[in-house]
Structure 1
């Protein structure tokens, strides 16, 4: 690795927190230290850039955090940074410290802010995808997705125990905003009768047909996994419609909510975060700018931030078919 032209960098976490953000932060700080690059942490995302909330970080600043969920730098969605004045103040603060590049750990909102900041003021930026939704183009998985998936699976397994004990139908809402990755994979992993996601055209009639099929095959309890961004209806309305159609069913609703965001990151997320944090720093050293570090087919790749924002990971159609075949 050649000597880096970049001598001072900052790192921030922004948007919704995701398990593994701390592991990524640790990797950025320690990789920078290894290559004699000064590293500053920014508290509360882009707000910290505006309010001059920088913290000089070294190897000991990030001890014992690889296993922690959330983010020790804290995160925020900054309305102030959305204004030209806010970004101007952020730039002045970076300039004062001599910061030449920023590693931005977050999702598409974080990357949009980074791209605009780079275009306006020329400070180099590199993105690290940290979001449980797994909806960022340019990486097979985002940091936090695997942990959220396992959290959802564990919760659904527990709900299944009560569903089978009482012959109940549970409608379970999982997170993922406008992406159905958590719903599809956790639904497949837990044997859900049906999985409702924004990426496919769902209908109440298809759902009810599945209930009838399940009845014929002797199923006495069922799990339906619903992505929070499902366009058909929200989870309560779906349960209400099902109750009208099947008045004899004991129907319940469970919303898993923010438990999916928290918790100690899985091994996969810790390794992914470590590789991407390292990749972000070495990418900057090699002259990369306005790109996102990602892993595709187990190789480190850099995708222009514009592409990462505009395009989206696509749902695996095979998984949809498999989930339908195995559900009955």
Structure 2
């Protein structure tokens, strides 16, 4: 990584050894235990000899480890055999390879359950105004505050529910000191105990103990805190937190389950730096390396930086993620409360974030120890899904506001394009293809011609940038482009773009177009994450346009969505006709990348009898209660169609792949057992066929509807005019627009998933919402 080599060029083996030895000579503070120091003669020479062994360890790790234990064993072997058991030699050799960029492949190495899944089950969060008795009935309802509720299946068989929280204010504060697992820390009496009580009160409200849980729905508290399992770290402050939270969850006359120590909840190991003030740590490192403290922090804050006598944040990340999966597997069917530390929560939030490790770490690199969050985790089908909620609404609002101001200031500072300076634009389409891309490209070119701006196109998205497939189209090539289905310049999914070496190649290819130029990226959330990398990391003047048939970006209508719904409707009407004629039951699967917006729109427009989506808190219950219930009521009605829409990847117990897989067979077998399906003597029944139809990629190549073409032209026009007249209002942003309305700019750093429309879902099922204010 060239940029890292430049930033860390001051890191030398001699300085690392000197710093490690200085830290090892420290006297342990009260309550801390330091690792033993091995005797050694020439650590500088030994560390240089160990550097190739560290590189070899990285090469082997890229081949994969089955679990965290295998990774730990290999790392310990490197210390014992490659570094003679000397922790200072290991510290120097490891961080010397880090400074040259040689450890980066570890972030992509497959380590068992630590690998981020390609898709996650979305958390079913329903606003109070969209919550109906039918949605909440028979389910666990968790109060998240701010009139939002998380719905979970009542039956936890095969599932686990985990509440994870940090200890709060302690005697030695992690805001100012390196605390870690080697210091027996306790809660500070003046602020720490009240903070712990606040966490307990928030959790009690969340699970409904204090009786605030939707009285209008006549719900009982579905969670019994007496059955909770409690797990703590070996640090006294987590035991204290457990005692305060348990006191809030359970009255004094009830027995509390004892807490168990679990190593997965331990904080990071800072080795000989344990107990040191962070400012003094940076100053000591600066002296050893001959730089100022600010420069030294660039090394210390790297997630792969290994502390002398301790480990790195990445090592902690591996242990936490693997350990939480282990805890979840061992508590299936129940609820566990986990009491831990800020570094552990930071690792967990980094894992839950859908972005690659290095991007998520950058986002949460400044995790505030003062944020008392409860991270809610649901485990099913081997995967963790989660949601982090701050304790206290006012604190969450204040934190969000401060973060917004800070990040927006940084975005504005990266805008280098000035008014009337734009001379060239490079445009690409990335990710899954969609209708309307051609209309946007045509308008970019036409508008560019009027403004004297050269417009270049990239074939096949980020892959094309890496291959330098950048070109200008002739007038003949532009003809008819606005009405072309899909993307006339191609698109692709290019996972290798996450590799920093590939990013450097892209920057070399873009360099001729960046002077007085900008890049326009059309695509979904993954493509816009790529655009954000180019903007924040390399300073490329980027504008994003929403293009995805999934329509899963909050605050905007995405190009391609309406065209996909229109094409799907033709197929659905045909299936309804044959279903009515033949008495067949059709399950139609549509795309959506795990989101149910496309499925909901298709189902509502086609007046389907049911819709199975990933967002539903309990798809298995929906299948048994709604789908089979509707069929039982409507089967046998003359000329009645039976149509159900299924979003791809929606999980259920009938097949590991979810969606329509296994669903059709289960429904057919269940229907066959009903008495109404059996023919009486002398009575011949209409044979009911249950069929699956996967529309899949046919919806991506839909002809663009007038809505998508108009919206695409609107986006393209606004993009160029803003880049010319007010670049700060577009650069580093996604341009967003409803079907009818003004174009707004959403900073790339604040793009969020679109909330599922539970009100439309309920309306489709005939539910009347009683919660109108």
TM-score of the alignment, normalized to the shorter chain, above 0.5: yes
Structure 1 residues 219 and 318: CA distance shift in structure 2, 3 A: farther
Compare 54-63 and 314-323 and name the one that shifted more: 54-63
Answer with 227-236 or 145-154: which moved more.
227-236
Question: Is the 1:22–1:71 contact (alpha carbons within 8 Å) kept by the matching residues of 2?
Answer: yes
Question: Quick check: 148-157 or 68-77, which moved more?
Answer: 68-77
3-state SS, counterpart of residue 669 of structure 2? helix
Q: Cα offset for 1:293?
A: 0.8
> Are the structure 2 counterparts of residues 21 and 325 from structure 1 closer, same or farther at C-alpha, using a change threshold of 3 Å?
same
Match of 2:717 among 274, 278, 282: 278
Secondary structure of 2:723 counterpart: helix
User: Does structure 2 retain, via aligned residues, the 8 Å contact 1:13–1:21?
Assistant: yes
CA-CA distance at 1:36 after TM superposition: 1.5
Per the TM alignment, residue 75 of structure 1 is displaced from its structure 2 partner at its CA by: 0.9
The reply on whether 1:269 has 2:688 as its aligned counterpart is no
Deviation of 1:221 (Å): 3.6
Q: CA deviation at 1:97?
A: 3.8
Aligned residues: 322
Distance 2:513 2:659 in 1: 48
Aligned residue for 2:585, secondary structure, equals: strand
Q: 1:107 deviation in Å?
A: 0.8
Task: Assess if the C-alpha contact under 8 Å between 1:22 and 1:68 holds in 2.
Answer: yes
Q: Work out whether residues 590 and 646 of structure 2, in 8 Å CA contact, stay in contact via their aligned partners in 1.
A: yes
Q: 2-side partners of 1:122 and 1:61: how far apart?
A: 31
Answer whether contact 1:33 1:59 (CA < 8 A) is retained.
no
Residue 225 (structure 1) aligned to one of 632, 645, 648: 645
Task: Please state if 1:179 is matched with 2:179.
Answer: no
For 1:66 and 1:240, the matched residues in 2 are separated by 43
Match of 2:693 in 1: 254
Matched residue, 2:547: 130
Determine helix, strand or coil for the equivalent of 1:15.
coil
Asked if 1:205 is matched to 2:612, the reply is: no
Match of 2:666 in 1: 241
**1:148-172, Cα deviation, whole Å (9 max, x unpaired):** 0011111011111111111111111
8 Å CA contact 1:33–1:58 kept in 2: the answer is no
Q: Report the 3-state secondary structure (helix = DSSP H, G, I; strand = E; otherwise coil) of the residue aligned with 1:302.
A: strand
Q: Does 1:66 align with 2:482?
A: yes
Given that 1:174 and 1:255 are in contact with CA atoms closer than 8 Å, whether structure 2 keeps it comes out as yes
Q: Residue 292 in 1 paired to residue 717 in 2?
A: no
| 1:1-328 pair list within 5 angstroms | 4-57=420-473, 61-99=477-515, 100-139=517-556, 141-201=557-617, 202=619, 203=621, 204-206=623-625, 207-215=627-635, 220-232=640-652, 233-247=658-672, 248=677, 249-285=688-724, 286-287=726-727, 288-296=730-738, 298-308=741-751, 311-325=752-766
**Aligned equivalents of 2:423 and 2:476: distance in 1?**
20
Contact 2:599–2:646 (8 Å) recurs in 1: yes
Deviations along 1:185-217, one digit per CA (max 9) or x if unpaired, are: 211111211111112233222221222232487
Contact preservation (8 Å) 1:114, 1:125 = yes
Contact 2:577-2:641 at 8 Å conserved across structures: no
| Structure 2 runs not aligned, ≥5 long | 1-417, 653-657, 678-687, 768-773
- For residues 52 and 111 of structure 1, the distance between their equivalents in structure 2, rounded to whole angstroms, comes to 20
Q: Which structure has the highest strand share of the two? A: 1
Structure-1 separation of matches of 2:649 and 2:742:
31
Does the CA-based 8 Å contact 2:549-2:560 persist in structure 1? Answer: yes
Is this contact kept in 1: 2:448–2:454, CA < 8 A?
yes
Deviation at 1:54, TM superposition (A): 1.3
Q: Provide the C-alpha distance between the structure 1 equivalents of 2:570 and 2:669, rounded to a whole number of angstroms.
A: 30
Q: For residues 93 and 35 of structure 1, what CA distance do their matches in structure 2 show?
A: 25
Deviation of residue 98 (structure 1)?
Answer: 4.2
Say which SS state the counterpart of residue 766 (structure 2) adopts: helix
Deviations 1:30-68 (CA, angstroms, capped at 9, x unpaired): 222222222111111112222221112476652211111
Instruction: Output the CA distance in 1 between the equivalents of 2:582 and 2:473.
Output: 54
Q: Secondary structure at the match of 1:319?
A: helix
Q: Deviations over 1:109-148 (max 9, x none)?
A: 1111111111221111010111111001231x10000010
Q: Distance in 1 between matches of 2:491 and 2:632?
A: 46
| RCO comparison, higher one (Cα < 8 Å, 6+) | 1
- Cα distance in 2, alignment partners of residues 245 and 27 from structure 1: 54
SS in 1 for 2:446: helix
Q: Is the 8 A contact 2:591 2:598 kept in 1?
A: yes
Give, in angstroms, the shift of residue 219 of structure 1. Answer: 7.2
Structure with larger Rg? 2
Contact 1:39 1:58 in 2 (8 A): no
The DSSP-based 3-state class of the residue aligned with 1:112 is helix
TM-score by length of structure 2 reads 0.40
* Contact 1:30/1:58 (<8 A) preserved: no
Asked if 1 retains the 8 angstrom alpha-carbon contact of 2:535 and 2:542, the reply is: yes
Secondary structure of the 1:235 match is: coil
Distance in 1 between residues matched to 2:745 and 2:430, nearest whole Å: 20
